[in-house]
Amino acid sequence: NNYCILEPVGGLGNPFIDPNSEGEGKWKYITGYHSRGTYLYTSPDGFVWKRMKLALIPFRNGTQSCTFYDDQRQLYVSYHRTGIHHTPGLATERASVVTQTNNLLSPIIYKPLSQSEYINIDKKERIRDPLPWWLDNGPLTPGDWGKEFPVKFKPDVEDPIGTDLYITKAIKYPWAPDTYFAFPIVYFHYYNDGPITRHELENPKRERGSGPIETQIAVSRNGLDWNRFYRPAYVGIGKHENYDMKTAYIAQGMIKRGNEIWQYYFGEPHYHSAHLKYDDKRAVFRLIQRIDGFISIDSPYSTEAIIITKPLLFKGNRLMINIDTEATGYAQIGFLDTNNNPIRGFEIDNCVYINGDFIETEVEWIRPSDGNSNYEHDNYENLESFNNIITSSDVSSLEGKEVKIIFRMKGSKLYAMQFKNKLD
């Protein structure tokens, strides 16, 4: 058989390879156990697992904990779902708290909040009774996650009331520094909140359930402070390979294959807490996209769009971009100083048109042979021939200086940019 852990784990989690361990601790797995708390399992091979007897932390898991190792900050970061908040209609409003530690082999230290502290929180936020709320199962049984740790994923003012952020699926992106992704699974409740016209959707005669679920996307530069993109949904409901899916739960992690990113998600043709299930039509789907193609800046076809970055410092001698202009779109790129003045030799008007679909292409600028960049770039009759034109992609003269980058695009999708060191 394929059973790896013959114990009553609850809430589950994601197994991962610990880059700091070998032997018996090479694999790590953080999960709930028997409603007693959150525990660490270790394994030498990902098949045979052993649970540490002491709980990592004495809060039980309501669902999957998402854990990754942050190689830049050298910390193990975990997101755990909490149900301490409630909606205006008194339904559970699920969110996530974050824990960080540099040693998974020791319990995570924290300070329990007192009853008076919880009462003060209750004056500012909608949280569940009793207070302190870990008494909800009796004083001898650990409660769910509370306010002892920072809440980092929670419905905000942009979300409809009665919306849950079910699971985060947060990761450290392996192929770029200072880059973190999360794929929050968002649940829209039909019950408790909103008008009766919304509640009617849960009527059993409609054969729906308590609500649909989609996967969104969030990005971060430190793994703690997130910017969530609501629309379009990263994985929405609807027709997927001829299956009409009502829930979309993305799996943890991703795989790189050549210039593609592969992810997987589990979809169901019925709603959460469904009144009518179609278990034979549930499926796991593979998602494929270009490398670094999670989010793009899209310029309209009808007019040129201008984008200017914040001031930045960079290392490298080439600016590489990931872009798709289709056949009739284009882009040009230049550098500005902090006062928004064009930098000589890197003017946007002198940028060689970028036209095509590229995972990675160098940005180039035209520089006449006489060194004078103030030429009539639209009139090649002033030049003897194309042999008079010198192009360069070398940006090393700007390395370490505070600059801005200006983009001019038409009918294009800009996915990513990166500075690299390349030999001529």
**Is 4 part of any domain?**
no
Closest alpha carbon to 148 in 74, 68, 59: 59
Do residues 154 and 51 share a domain? yes
**Is 220 part of any domain?**
yes
The total of structural domains in the chain comes to 2
Q: Residue 303: its pLDDT value, please?
A: 96
| Per-residue pLDDT in tens (0 to 9) along the chain, 424 residues | 678 888 888 768 899 999 999 999 999 999 988 888 899 999 999 999 999 999 999 888 878 899 999 999 999 999 999 989 999 999 999 999 999 999 999 999 999 888 899 999 999 999 988 776 655 555 555 678 889 999 999 999 999 999 999 999 999 999 999 999 999 999 999 999 999 999 999 999 999 999 999 999 999 999 999 999 999 999 999 999 888 999 999 999 999 999 999 999 999 999 999 999 988 889 999 999 999 999 999 999 999 999 999 999 999 999 999 999 999 999 999 999 999 999 999 999 999 999 999 999 999 999 866 555 555 555 555 555 667 789 999 999 999 999 999 999 999 999 999 999 987 6
**Is 1 part of any domain?**
no
Residue range(s) defining the domain that contains residue 402: 297-420
Do residues 401 and 277 share a domain? no
Listed as own residue / partner, the contacts of 336-343 with beta carbons closer than 8 Å and 24 or more positions apart are: 336/308, 336/403, 336/404, 336/405, 336/406, 337/402, 337/403, 337/404, 338/311, 338/402, 338/403, 338/404, 340/308, 340/404, 343/398, 343/403
Do residues 14 and 135 share a domain? yes
Domain boundary, last residue among 259, 290, 321: 290
Do residues 184 and 40 share a domain? yes
Domain boundary, last residue among 272, 290, 308: 290
Do residues 275 and 317 share a domain? no
| Tokens coding 54 | 């002491």
Do residues 250 and 339 share a domain? no
CA distance readout (Å), 300 to 110, 232, 325, 330, 352: 50, 17, 11, 11, 20
Do residues 283 and 356 share a domain? no
**Is 207 part of any domain?**
yes
Sheet holding 171-172, edge to edge: 171-172, 180-182, 217-220, 226-229
Give the CATH number, domain containing residue 310.
2.60.290
Q: In this structure, are residues 148 and 98 in contact, taking their beta carbons and an 8 Å threshold?
A: no
Give the CATH number, domain containing residue 40.
2.115.10
Do residues 319 and 379 share a domain? yes
What lies within 8 Å, CB to CB, of 2 at 6+ separation is none
Do residues 137 and 175 share a domain? yes
What lies within 8 Å, CB to CB, of 64 at 6+ separation is 11, 12, 13, 14, 81, 167, 252
Residue 236 CA from chain centroid, whole number = 15
**Is 2 part of any domain?**
no
Domain boundary, last residue among 290, 323, 341: 290
